[in-house]
Amino acid sequence: MLDNFREWLSDNLRYILLGLAILVVLLVLFFGVRAVTGLVTSKEKGNTTEKTQVVDSKNDNTEAKDESKNNDKKEETSSLEKNAYPEVNSLINSFYEAWGRKDIEQMKQLTDNLDAADEAKVTNSTYIESYNDITVYTKPGLTDDSYVVYASYKLKFTDIKTEAPGLSQLYVMKNEDGSYIIHNDSSDEKINAYLQKVTQDEDVQKLVSQVEDDLNSAIESDEDLKAFEEQLGQDSNSSARAEEGATLTVQEDCNFRAEADTEAEILDVIPGGTEVTKVADGSEGWIEVEYNNEKGFVSQDF
């Protein structure tokens, strides 16, 4: 039987070898196709990743552009707005109308702090007849519903025909009852710093320069106004020209400070009309005086 198998194997060996060869070829083709398919798939995945990165990059650029647009909008909204808020306009107009009438009680209702020095400043400014042609410019404040206000006006002096253009900076915020009020606290360092920062804005500087130009034109057009402005300047500087030991009269209530600085300790408040003794000239805008046997500093403007 074994001999028969050997004889069969010998007769059919060529066919067996041919079948094995065909099988090997099929296996090579199968695994080759798998390898090529895997490579193509890998490349496709790589291309997809690259495309995803490109899309992400585009999204990043879009987000950056959107953020830039938002920043531009913020810049736009921080520009000076003219008469943009009726309630704020009404507040500022009422405040300066009350000042012209020397209506202290009305002014107290429109501010959160009107101290004795402020009252004296209003009542002693008898040369001011009225504030006219008030225009309100605003910029956003530190919080919602608060504003930095620049009020431009025409100041009418008593017995002077030509009105003098002027500009004031104020801070307006909402009161507890929802109405707007002028924040008049000179000790509020945060708001004071913000007001100083806003003043450096280009559009604010342009407004200040315009008002200054208008004032200079008005002064040059009216000799009476020019003489009056010069007299105001002389009155303000007379204390600086006074000799040491001279007796000076305080024009209105003013703070008596330990140092020549608006942030220095307030030793006392000197009532308007009080006589003090000049000790020496302080730093720019300040004078050292003696009051109630104590030495301190007052602003030259008073």
Supply the pLDDT for residue 58: 47
Per-residue pLDDT of the chain (302 residues), as tens digits, is: 545 555 555 555 555 555 655 655 555 555 554 554 454 444 444 554 444 444 454 455 555 555 544 444 344 448 999 999 999 999 999 999 999 999 999 999 999 988 877 787 788 788 899 999 999 999 999 999 999 999 999 999 999 999 999 999 999 999 888 999 999 887 888 998 999 899 999 999 999 999 999 999 999 999 999 998 887 766 556 666 677 888 888 876 788 889 888 888 888 888 777 888 888 877 767 889 998 889 999 987 77
Contact (Cβ atoms closer than 8 angstroms) between residue 110 and residue 122: no
Contact 114, 184 (CB under 8 A): yes
CA dist., res. 267 & res. 288, Å (int): 13
Q: What is the pLDDT of residue 211?
A: 93
Instruction: Provide the terminal-to-terminal Cα distance of the chain, rounded to the nearest Å.
Output: 139
**Dihedral through CA 85, CA 89, CA 95, CA 98, nearest 10?**
-150
CA–CA dist 246, 239 (Å, integer): 9
Instruction: Name the phi and psi angles at 156, rounded to 5.
Output: -95, 110
Q: DSSP characters for 75-103?
A: HHHTS-EES--HHHHHHHHHHHHHHHHT-
Return the biggest CA–CA distance within the chain. 150
Phi, psi of 85 (to 5 degrees): -130, 105
Amino acid found at 162: T
**For 216, what's the count of Cα atoms within 13 Å in the CB-facing half-sphere?**
6
pLDDT at residue 50, as a whole number = 47
Instruction: Give the C-alpha distances (Å, rounded to integers) separating 3 from 11, 14, 15, 256.
Output: 12, 18, 19, 136
Q: Is residue 81 packed enough to be buried (19+ CB in 10 Å), middle (13-18) or exposed (0-12)?
A: middle
Question: Which backbone phi and psi does 163 adopt, to 5 degrees?
Answer: -80, 145
Tell me which residue has tokens 């198998």.
5
